[in-house]
Amino acid sequence: MNDLALFRRRLGAHRGLATLPERSVPLAEFRRAAATAGVHLAEPERRAAIEALRAPRPDATPVEGPFRRVAVCGGVYSNHVALAAFLALAERRRSDAVYCLGDLGGFGPFPERVRPLLDEGEVRVVQGNYEQSLASGAEDCACGYTDPRDNHFAALSYRYTAAKCSAGFRAWMGSLPPRRRARLGEAELLLVHGSPRRVNEFLFDSTTPDDFLELLLAVEGADVLVCTHTGLPWTRRLPSGRAAVNVGALGRPANDGRQAVRFAWLEADPEAPGGVAIEVVPLDYDTAALITGMRSEGLPEEFVATIASGWWTTCLEILPPRERASGRF
Protein backbone atom coordinates (compact mmCIF):
# COMPACT_ATOMS: atom_id res chain seq x y z
CA MET A 1 0.00 0.00 0.00
CA ASN A 2 1.48 3.36 -1.05
CA ASP A 3 1.65 6.41 1.22
CA LEU A 4 -1.39 8.11 -0.32
CA ALA A 5 -3.54 4.99 -0.03
CA LEU A 6 -2.43 4.53 3.59
CA PHE A 7 -3.25 8.17 4.34
CA ARG A 8 -6.73 7.84 2.83
CA ARG A 9 -7.34 4.63 4.79
CA ARG A 10 -6.36 6.32 8.05
CA LEU A 11 -8.46 9.34 7.14
CA GLY A 12 -11.55 7.21 6.70
CA ALA A 13 -10.98 5.17 9.85
CA HIS A 14 -13.23 6.03 12.76
CA ARG A 15 -11.30 7.37 15.74
CA GLY A 16 -13.93 6.38 18.27
CA LEU A 17 -14.95 9.99 18.87
CA ALA A 18 -18.04 12.05 18.17
CA THR A 19 -18.80 15.77 18.41
CA LEU A 20 -21.03 16.91 21.28
CA PRO A 21 -21.78 19.69 20.43
CA GLU A 22 -18.42 21.30 19.64
CA ARG A 23 -16.01 19.03 21.48
CA SER A 24 -14.83 15.52 20.78
CA VAL A 25 -16.10 12.87 23.22
CA PRO A 26 -15.92 9.05 23.32
CA LEU A 27 -18.74 7.34 21.42
CA ALA A 28 -20.12 5.82 24.63
CA GLU A 29 -20.62 9.29 26.10
CA PHE A 30 -22.24 10.48 22.87
CA ARG A 31 -24.62 7.50 22.85
CA ARG A 32 -25.67 8.16 26.45
CA ALA A 33 -26.40 11.78 25.66
CA ALA A 34 -28.27 10.91 22.46
CA ALA A 35 -30.41 8.32 24.24
CA THR A 36 -31.81 10.91 26.65
CA ALA A 37 -32.02 13.83 24.23
CA GLY A 38 -35.22 15.08 22.68
CA VAL A 39 -38.84 14.42 23.49
CA HIS A 40 -41.59 12.15 22.16
CA LEU A 41 -44.48 14.04 20.62
CA ALA A 42 -47.92 12.96 19.54
CA GLU A 43 -48.43 13.23 15.78
CA PRO A 44 -50.33 16.57 15.85
CA GLU A 45 -47.68 18.08 18.12
CA ARG A 46 -44.93 16.75 15.88
CA ARG A 47 -46.51 18.31 12.79
CA ALA A 48 -46.94 21.61 14.64
CA ALA A 49 -43.31 21.54 15.72
CA ILE A 50 -42.19 20.94 12.12
CA GLU A 51 -44.33 23.81 10.87
CA ALA A 52 -42.91 26.09 13.54
CA LEU A 53 -39.38 25.10 12.51
CA ARG A 54 -40.14 25.94 8.88
CA ALA A 55 -42.05 29.15 9.54
CA PRO A 56 -40.46 32.31 8.11
CA ARG A 57 -38.68 34.42 10.68
CA PRO A 58 -38.99 38.21 10.69
CA ASP A 59 -35.80 40.03 9.79
CA ALA A 60 -35.45 43.81 10.01
CA THR A 61 -32.23 43.83 7.97
CA PRO A 62 -32.66 46.43 5.19
CA VAL A 63 -32.43 45.20 1.61
CA GLU A 64 -29.69 47.04 -0.30
CA GLY A 65 -29.74 47.64 -4.02
CA PRO A 66 -31.10 46.81 -6.47
CA PHE A 67 -27.88 45.75 -8.19
CA ARG A 68 -27.03 43.98 -11.44
CA ARG A 69 -23.65 42.59 -10.43
CA VAL A 70 -21.82 42.21 -7.11
CA ALA A 71 -18.41 40.93 -6.01
CA VAL A 72 -18.22 39.11 -2.66
CA CYS A 73 -15.16 38.06 -0.68
CA GLY A 74 -14.66 36.58 2.76
CA GLY A 75 -11.85 35.51 5.06
CA VAL A 76 -9.45 38.39 4.29
CA TYR A 77 -7.14 37.19 7.09
CA SER A 78 -5.09 40.42 6.99
CA ASN A 79 -4.09 39.73 3.37
CA HIS A 80 -4.16 43.38 2.30
CA VAL A 81 -2.26 42.48 -0.88
CA ALA A 82 -5.00 40.14 -2.12
CA LEU A 83 -7.68 42.57 -0.94
CA ALA A 84 -6.20 45.36 -3.09
CA ALA A 85 -6.09 43.02 -6.10
CA PHE A 86 -9.68 41.94 -5.49
CA LEU A 87 -10.96 45.51 -5.33
CA ALA A 88 -9.09 46.43 -8.51
CA LEU A 89 -10.62 43.48 -10.36
CA ALA A 90 -14.11 44.23 -9.04
CA GLU A 91 -13.74 47.76 -10.40
CA ARG A 92 -12.58 46.50 -13.80
CA ARG A 93 -15.58 44.18 -13.91
CA ARG A 94 -17.81 47.16 -13.08
CA SER A 95 -19.44 45.71 -9.98
CA ASP A 96 -22.34 47.73 -8.61
CA ALA A 97 -21.44 46.77 -5.05
CA VAL A 98 -18.66 44.95 -3.22
CA TYR A 99 -19.26 42.88 -0.10
CA CYS A 100 -16.86 41.36 2.42
CA LEU A 101 -18.18 38.66 4.74
CA GLY A 102 -15.78 39.19 7.63
CA ASP A 103 -12.75 37.63 9.30
CA LEU A 104 -10.56 40.57 8.42
CA GLY A 105 -7.73 39.45 10.71
CA GLY A 106 -5.79 36.21 11.11
CA PHE A 107 -2.87 34.41 9.40
CA GLY A 108 -1.49 37.51 7.64
CA PRO A 109 0.52 40.60 8.68
CA PHE A 110 -0.49 44.20 9.39
CA PRO A 111 -4.25 43.77 10.00
CA GLU A 112 -4.83 47.55 10.16
CA ARG A 113 -3.94 47.85 6.47
CA VAL A 114 -7.23 46.33 5.36
CA ARG A 115 -9.38 49.13 6.82
CA PRO A 116 -8.33 51.94 4.41
CA LEU A 117 -8.83 49.61 1.44
CA LEU A 118 -12.33 48.70 2.59
CA ASP A 119 -13.20 52.35 3.16
CA GLU A 120 -11.81 53.56 -0.15
CA GLY A 121 -13.57 50.75 -2.01
CA GLU A 122 -16.86 51.50 -0.24
CA VAL A 123 -17.03 47.83 0.71
CA ARG A 124 -20.12 46.65 2.58
CA VAL A 125 -18.72 44.49 5.39
CA VAL A 126 -20.42 41.77 7.42
CA GLN A 127 -19.19 41.00 10.93
CA GLY A 128 -17.41 37.67 11.27
CA ASN A 129 -16.32 35.78 14.36
CA TYR A 130 -12.94 37.57 14.33
CA GLU A 131 -14.64 40.97 14.43
CA GLN A 132 -16.98 39.86 17.22
CA SER A 133 -14.10 38.55 19.31
CA LEU A 134 -11.76 41.48 18.75
CA ALA A 135 -14.47 44.07 19.39
CA SER A 136 -15.55 42.40 22.64
CA GLY A 137 -12.04 41.74 23.92
CA ALA A 138 -12.55 37.96 23.89
CA GLU A 139 -9.59 35.70 24.59
CA ASP A 140 -9.90 33.67 21.37
CA CYS A 141 -11.26 33.96 17.86
CA ALA A 142 -14.32 31.73 18.47
CA CYS A 143 -13.47 30.07 15.18
CA GLY A 144 -15.29 26.88 16.14
CA TYR A 145 -12.30 24.53 16.05
CA THR A 146 -12.26 21.47 18.29
CA ASP A 147 -8.84 19.95 17.64
CA PRO A 148 -5.89 21.04 19.84
CA ARG A 149 -3.57 21.57 16.85
CA ASP A 150 -6.14 23.71 15.06
CA ASN A 151 -6.70 25.72 18.22
CA HIS A 152 -2.94 26.13 18.77
CA PHE A 153 -2.43 27.86 15.43
CA ALA A 154 -5.71 29.76 15.74
CA ALA A 155 -4.49 31.12 19.07
CA LEU A 156 -1.17 32.26 17.56
CA SER A 157 -3.02 34.01 14.75
CA TYR A 158 -5.57 35.65 17.05
CA ARG A 159 -3.02 36.89 19.59
CA TYR A 160 -0.95 38.50 16.86
CA THR A 161 -4.00 40.18 15.30
CA ALA A 162 -5.32 41.39 18.66
CA ALA A 163 -1.95 42.92 19.51
CA LYS A 164 -1.89 44.83 16.22
CA CYS A 165 -5.45 46.22 16.29
CA SER A 166 -6.05 49.71 17.65
CA ALA A 167 -9.00 50.59 19.87
CA GLY A 168 -10.57 52.51 17.00
CA PHE A 169 -10.29 49.54 14.64
CA ARG A 170 -11.87 47.26 17.24
CA ALA A 171 -14.73 49.70 17.82
CA TRP A 172 -15.39 49.88 14.08
CA MET A 173 -15.47 46.07 13.92
CA GLY A 174 -18.04 46.05 16.70
CA SER A 175 -20.28 48.39 14.69
CA LEU A 176 -20.50 46.06 11.69
CA PRO A 177 -23.80 44.28 11.01
CA PRO A 178 -23.92 40.48 11.46
CA ARG A 179 -25.83 40.08 8.18
CA ARG A 180 -26.80 41.98 5.07
CA ARG A 181 -29.46 41.58 2.40
CA ALA A 182 -29.21 42.72 -1.20
CA ARG A 183 -31.53 42.77 -4.20
CA LEU A 184 -29.87 41.33 -7.32
CA GLY A 185 -32.28 41.59 -10.22
CA GLU A 186 -35.41 39.82 -8.97
CA ALA A 187 -33.55 37.73 -6.38
CA GLU A 188 -32.77 38.53 -2.75
CA LEU A 189 -29.36 37.63 -1.36
CA LEU A 190 -28.72 36.90 2.31
CA LEU A 191 -25.06 37.56 3.14
CA VAL A 192 -23.62 36.15 6.38
CA HIS A 193 -20.27 34.96 7.70
CA GLY A 194 -20.80 31.34 8.80
CA SER A 195 -24.51 30.63 8.44
CA PRO A 196 -27.79 32.38 9.20
CA ARG A 197 -27.89 30.39 12.45
CA ARG A 198 -24.41 30.98 13.84
CA VAL A 199 -21.46 33.16 12.93
CA ASN A 200 -18.94 30.30 13.23
CA GLU A 201 -20.99 27.49 11.70
CA PHE A 202 -18.99 25.60 9.06
CA LEU A 203 -21.02 24.99 5.89
CA PHE A 204 -18.78 22.59 3.99
CA ASP A 205 -19.89 21.32 0.60
CA SER A 206 -19.78 17.64 1.55
CA THR A 207 -21.66 18.00 4.85
CA THR A 208 -24.35 20.55 3.93
CA PRO A 209 -27.35 18.78 2.34
CA ASP A 210 -29.80 20.42 -0.03
CA ASP A 211 -32.72 20.00 2.37
CA PHE A 212 -30.87 21.93 5.07
CA LEU A 213 -30.05 24.78 2.69
CA GLU A 214 -33.65 24.85 1.47
CA LEU A 215 -34.83 25.13 5.08
CA LEU A 216 -32.43 27.95 5.89
CA LEU A 217 -33.47 29.95 2.85
CA ALA A 218 -37.18 29.32 3.34
CA VAL A 219 -37.02 30.42 6.97
CA GLU A 220 -34.99 33.50 6.05
CA GLY A 221 -37.14 34.39 3.05
CA ALA A 222 -34.14 34.65 0.72
CA ASP A 223 -33.31 33.27 -2.71
CA VAL A 224 -29.51 32.97 -2.45
CA LEU A 225 -27.40 32.27 0.63
CA VAL A 226 -23.89 33.78 0.46
CA CYS A 227 -21.43 32.72 3.16
CA THR A 228 -17.76 32.02 3.96
CA HIS A 229 -15.92 30.82 7.16
CA THR A 230 -14.80 27.41 5.82
CA GLY A 231 -12.15 28.91 3.53
CA LEU A 232 -13.22 26.50 0.77
CA PRO A 233 -15.52 27.76 -2.02
CA TRP A 234 -18.49 25.90 -3.47
CA THR A 235 -21.80 26.64 -5.18
CA ARG A 236 -25.09 24.77 -5.12
CA ARG A 237 -28.26 25.02 -7.21
CA LEU A 238 -31.21 23.75 -5.20
CA PRO A 239 -34.34 21.92 -6.42
CA SER A 240 -36.52 24.92 -5.49
CA GLY A 241 -34.55 27.21 -7.79
CA ARG A 242 -32.76 28.81 -4.86
CA ALA A 243 -28.98 28.72 -4.57
CA ALA A 244 -26.11 28.83 -2.09
CA VAL A 245 -22.52 29.93 -2.54
CA ASN A 246 -19.58 29.75 -0.18
CA VAL A 247 -17.21 32.42 -1.46
CA GLY A 248 -14.09 30.81 0.01
CA ALA A 249 -11.31 32.97 1.45
CA LEU A 250 -9.37 35.91 0.09
CA GLY A 251 -6.65 35.51 2.69
CA ARG A 252 -5.29 32.10 1.84
CA PRO A 253 -5.60 29.61 -1.05
CA ALA A 254 -8.29 26.97 -1.39
CA ASN A 255 -6.06 24.03 -0.34
CA ASP A 256 -5.64 22.97 -3.97
CA GLY A 257 -1.95 23.54 -4.66
CA ARG A 258 -2.55 26.91 -6.33
CA GLN A 259 -1.49 30.24 -4.89
CA ALA A 260 -4.63 31.92 -6.23
CA VAL A 261 -7.31 32.86 -3.71
CA ARG A 262 -11.06 32.96 -4.42
CA PHE A 263 -14.05 35.27 -4.40
CA ALA A 264 -17.56 35.09 -5.83
CA TRP A 265 -19.15 37.09 -8.64
CA LEU A 266 -22.95 37.19 -8.77
CA GLU A 267 -24.84 38.74 -11.64
CA ALA A 268 -28.52 39.18 -12.41
CA ASP A 269 -29.22 37.06 -15.48
CA PRO A 270 -32.75 36.07 -16.57
CA GLU A 271 -31.28 33.13 -18.49
CA ALA A 272 -29.59 31.65 -15.39
CA PRO A 273 -31.37 29.36 -12.89
CA GLY A 274 -33.21 31.51 -10.37
CA GLY A 275 -32.22 34.60 -12.34
CA VAL A 276 -28.71 34.72 -10.82
CA ALA A 277 -25.44 33.66 -12.46
CA ILE A 278 -22.81 32.63 -9.89
CA GLU A 279 -19.08 32.33 -10.54
CA VAL A 280 -16.26 31.46 -8.14
CA VAL A 281 -13.32 33.47 -9.43
CA PRO A 282 -9.63 32.62 -8.86
CA LEU A 283 -7.49 35.65 -8.09
CA ASP A 284 -3.73 35.87 -8.53
CA TYR A 285 -1.84 38.47 -6.51
CA ASP A 286 1.69 39.30 -5.33
CA THR A 287 2.29 36.45 -2.90
CA ALA A 288 5.97 37.37 -2.57
CA ALA A 289 5.02 40.74 -1.10
CA LEU A 290 2.70 39.10 1.41
CA ILE A 291 5.31 36.51 2.41
CA THR A 292 7.90 39.24 2.97
CA GLY A 293 5.50 40.98 5.34
CA MET A 294 4.65 37.74 7.15
CA ARG A 295 8.28 36.94 7.81
CA SER A 296 9.09 40.49 8.88
CA GLU A 297 6.37 40.14 11.52
CA GLY A 298 7.63 36.76 12.71
CA LEU A 299 4.47 34.85 11.79
CA PRO A 300 4.72 31.03 11.84
CA GLU A 301 6.43 29.44 8.85
CA GLU A 302 3.44 27.12 8.61
CA PHE A 303 1.34 30.14 7.60
CA VAL A 304 3.97 31.18 5.06
CA ALA A 305 4.10 27.67 3.59
CA THR A 306 0.37 27.74 2.88
CA ILE A 307 0.64 31.00 0.92
CA ALA A 308 3.70 29.77 -1.00
CA SER A 309 2.49 26.26 -1.80
CA GLY A 310 -1.28 26.58 -2.08
CA TRP A 311 -1.73 23.74 0.44
CA TRP A 312 -3.09 24.26 3.94
CA THR A 313 -0.61 23.30 6.65
CA THR A 314 -2.72 24.44 9.63
CA CYS A 315 -6.38 24.38 10.71
CA LEU A 316 -6.92 21.14 8.82
CA GLU A 317 -8.48 18.94 11.47
CA ILE A 318 -11.88 20.63 11.14
CA LEU A 319 -12.15 19.52 7.51
CA PRO A 320 -14.63 16.71 6.72
CA PRO A 321 -13.13 13.57 5.13
CA ARG A 322 -13.85 14.52 1.52
CA GLU A 323 -12.36 18.00 1.84
CA ARG A 324 -9.38 16.69 3.83
CA ALA A 325 -8.66 13.97 1.28
CA SER A 326 -8.50 16.46 -1.58
CA GLY A 327 -5.66 18.37 0.09
CA ARG A 328 -2.00 17.45 0.41
CA PHE A 329 -1.82 17.00 4.19
Residues near 189 by Cβ (< 8 Å), separated by ≥ 6? 70, 181, 182, 183, 222, 223, 224, 225, 226, 266
**Coil/strand/helix, residue 51:** helix
pLDDT beyond 90 at 9:
no
pLDDT beyond 60 at 10:
no
**pLDDT value at residue 249:** 98
At 17, the pLDDT band (50, 70, 90 cuts) reads low
**pLDDT value at residue 248:** 97
For the ranges 26-30, 86-90, 174-178, 292-296, which has the lowest average pLDDT?
26-30
pLDDT beyond 70 at 307:
yes
Return the sign of the alpha-carbon dihedral for residues 278, 192, 316, 15. negative
For residue 157, CA distances in Å to 86, 151, 164, 203 come to 23, 10, 11, 22
pLDDT beyond 70 at 66:
yes
Spans of all domains in the chain: 3-54, 63-287
Report pLDDT digits (tens) over 111-135. Answer: 999 999 999 999 999 999 999 999 9
End-to-end CA distance of the chain: 18
3-class DSSP string for 57-101 = CCCCCCEEEEECEEEEECCCCCCHHHHHHHHHHHHHCCCCEEEEC
Is this structure's pTM higher than 0.85?
A: yes
**pLDDT value at residue 50:** 83
pLDDT beyond 90 at 244:
yes
**Coil/strand/helix, residue 244:** strand
| Domain 63-287 superfamily per CATH | Metallo-dependent phosphatases (3.60.21.10)
